[in-house]
Structure 1
Amino acid sequence: MPARHIFAAAVVLLSSNASWAIEPPWGKAQNLGEKRLLEKTTLCTDGKGHYFALSPNKDGPDHLFYGDGRTFVQVPVEKYMSNTFLEPRFVDANSNPNFRGADMRVYSKVIVEKEKGDCAVRCGERTIPFTFVESEKAGELLLAAAFEANPQKFVPYALLRDSKGIYYLVERGFHPEDQKRFRVSIGPKGNLKLQEMVNLVSDSEGQIFSTKKGDLRLVVDQQKPSMWIQNKKRLELRVVPVSDNLPLIYNELGPYTGVRLGTPCDDQ
């Protein structure tokens, strides 16, 4: 199954530099409601130029943003788990492998306990201490900062492999408006290469990808065995469940090496 992502509602605007700018929940703090929301927003820093902001959301999980103090990106948070986000690069082996259908071992979180004075980021099994930024200074910094949508472009959709250990990774667009976009990478572990293939078919039964000449095709089937077709030669592929292999995909296969996921663990 494709990885799940829950987005908090936000106003999205296309900026002049071709990145997706968003308006934070408190807007420009021009009315009483916006000012109160900004006052209730928590800002924490590790003292090394990294910040996260947590803002209340009456319609769901709190809004979470991460950045360097000048620019923040929106962090996708899980609907039923407070301050929690998917982070497959860091694994917590002691977490619940099946909490409401989610493998909590590949989730990390921000920790905000004002009563105890605790502010931190947990990435897998490692907890990084942060400190609270004083309210007035936090408000000034947040109003001066730019806010953008999460930088991720693609997420794993399907993973296949042959009997020689060659992997076939299919990804789809990360943002809702890009979910009809796919890309294919093929190769051995640690050296998958992006292929110039077009998506010919995408429906409830699977996808078919092909080179422009049609001599190479990848068939991802929901019911029958998936296939790699080279001219008339057919190679049956084994399905490797994405949800059970996220650490492998993000840490070992290669396409995500060095890619920022727009989470507070990017710099840890």
Structure 2
Amino acid sequence: MVIALGLVLAPQAALAIDPPWGQEQKLRDRMVLESTKVCADGKGHYTVLVPRTPEHDGAMYYGDGKMFTQVPALDYLSETEGGFFEPRFFNPKSNENFRGVDYRVVSFLKLSDDFKTCTLSCGEKSLPQQPVAAEQAKELLRKSSFQASPVKFQPYALLRDDKGTYYLVERGMGADNKSFRIFTGQRGQVKQQKMLNVVTDSQGEIFSTQGGDLRLVVDREEPSFWVVKSKRQKLRAVPVGENLPFIYNELGVYTGARLGTPCDDV
């Protein structure tokens, strides 16, 4: 089973967080900062790689040198490489199912073994970066603020009718996994609908407007459908994991949006 990672911007501002090294009061915190690498693109953007160590699980951040946003990274973060979910940039040459992850929608920050060169890969695009000297990097990070990722939802279900109207269901992540958002419309023109989640069980979900004139029924086994008053329109399920680049680049929900990754400014 391939893990279909997906992220959606939250409507509220991201929360401020502490960096992994905190106030550097403990030796292990200082060791985390010492192991952290920073790469710059020469245009005022920086990517921070905190490798996995016995002292820390690892992390990635992206920002302008004053504010850094946490990048949801893959579990494996070494001293020279960090991967992160980036559905807007597709690499057909990557493995579509490596340990359950579709690497075609994963981008990377990679440093040479001697830390003298750095490259940001966004899909098939390879962008040279400049490693920031260790002391300069530490000074930069100590003066910066940090915030959580702005993405709080992920694509949950994608449906369409025989006229090309799409129905995207997003589900909240983590503690917000009982929250849903619904978008409908033609490709490139989808709009959010004000709908309530009235049923969630093992067989699917039912969403409805306040007055019940509109309903979206997402079924696990039977065909899903869209209801306008009493008229039903059968819907075809479109696999989310196989259509992430389409969802993020063409559907219209994320047009012009920033996902808080190093590929935002590519």
- TM-score above 0.5: yes
Give 1:5 deviation, angstroms.
Answer: 6.7
Give 1:2 deviation, angstroms.
Answer: 7.7
Match of 2:70 among 74, 81, 94: 74
Q: State the TM-score, normalized to the length of structure 1.
A: 0.90
- Does the CA contact (< 8 Å) of 2:76 and 2:82 recur in 1? no
CA distance in 1: counterparts of 2:36 and 2:214, whole angstroms? 52
> What are the superposed Cα offsets for residues 107-157 of structure 1, whole Å, 9 maximum, x if unpaired?
111102241622121001111111111111111111111111101132211
1:201 partner SS = strand
> What are the superposed Cα offsets for residues 195-234 of structure 1, whole Å, 9 maximum, x if unpaired?
1111111222211110000011000111111111111111
CA distance in 2: counterparts of 1:193 and 1:122, whole angstroms? 32
Whichever residue aligns with residue 163 of structure 2, its letter is: K
- Does the CA contact (< 8 Å) of 1:5 and 1:76 recur in 2? no
Give 1:30 deviation, angstroms.
Answer: 2.3
CA distance in 2: counterparts of 1:258 and 1:80, whole angstroms? 29
Q: Hey, what does 2:20 align to over in structure 1? A: 25
Would you say 1:138 and 2:134 are equivalent positions? no
Give 1:104 deviation, angstroms.
Answer: 1.4
> What are the superposed Cα offsets for residues 50-108 of structure 1, whole Å, 9 maximum, x if unpaired?
00111133368631111111011111112257511111101112112222232211111
Deviates more, 1:17-26 or 1:106-115: 17-26
2:151 partner SS = coil
- Does the CA contact (< 8 Å) of 1:61 and 1:77 recur in 2? no
Q: Hey, what does 1:124 align to over in structure 2? A: 123
Distance 1:116 1:149, change over 3 A: closer
Q: Hey, what does 1:107 align to over in structure 2? A: 106
Give 1:23 deviation, angstroms.
Answer: 1.2
- Does the CA contact (< 8 Å) of 2:86 and 2:122 recur in 1? yes
2:136 partner SS = helix
**What are the within-5 Å matches in structure 2 for residues 1-268 of structure 1?**
3-4=4-5, 19-58=14-53, 62-80=58-76, 83-115=82-114, 117-173=116-172, 175-268=173-266
CA distance in 1: counterparts of 2:188 and 2:251, whole angstroms? 4
CA distance in 2: counterparts of 1:259 and 1:84, whole angstroms? 21
CA distance in 1: counterparts of 2:263 and 2:65, whole angstroms? 16
> What are the superposed Cα offsets for residues 157-203 of structure 1, whole Å, 9 maximum, x if unpaired?
10000001100000112x41222111001001010011111111122
CA distance in 1: counterparts of 2:6 and 2:86, whole angstroms? 11
Number of residue pairs the alignment of both structures matches:
257
1:140 partner SS = helix
1:65 partner SS = strand
Give 1:259 deviation, angstroms.
Answer: 1.2
- Does the CA contact (< 8 Å) of 1:88 and 1:106 recur in 2? yes
Whichever residue aligns with residue 254 of structure 2, its letter is: Y
After superposing on structure 2, the runs of 4+ consecutive aligned residues of structure 1 that deviate more than 4 Å are none
Distance 1:5 1:249, change over 3 A: closer
Give 1:18 deviation, angstroms.
Answer: 5.7
CA distance in 2: counterparts of 1:111 and 1:168, whole angstroms? 37
Whichever residue aligns with residue 259 of structure 1, its letter is: A
Give 1:261 deviation, angstroms.
Answer: 1.0
- Does the CA contact (< 8 Å) of 1:3 and 1:157 recur in 2? no
State the superposition RMSD in angstroms.
2.0
Q: State the TM-score, normalized to the length of structure 2.
A: 0.90
> What are the superposed Cα offsets for residues 9-31 of structure 1, whole Å, 9 maximum, x if unpaired?
xxxxxxxx963111111112123
Deviates more, 1:92-101 or 1:162-171: 92-101
Deviates more, 1:245-254 or 1:126-135: 126-135
Which runs of 5 or more residues in structure 1 are unaligned? 7-16
Whichever residue aligns with residue 141 of structure 1, its letter is: L
Which runs of 5 or more residues in structure 2 are unaligned? none
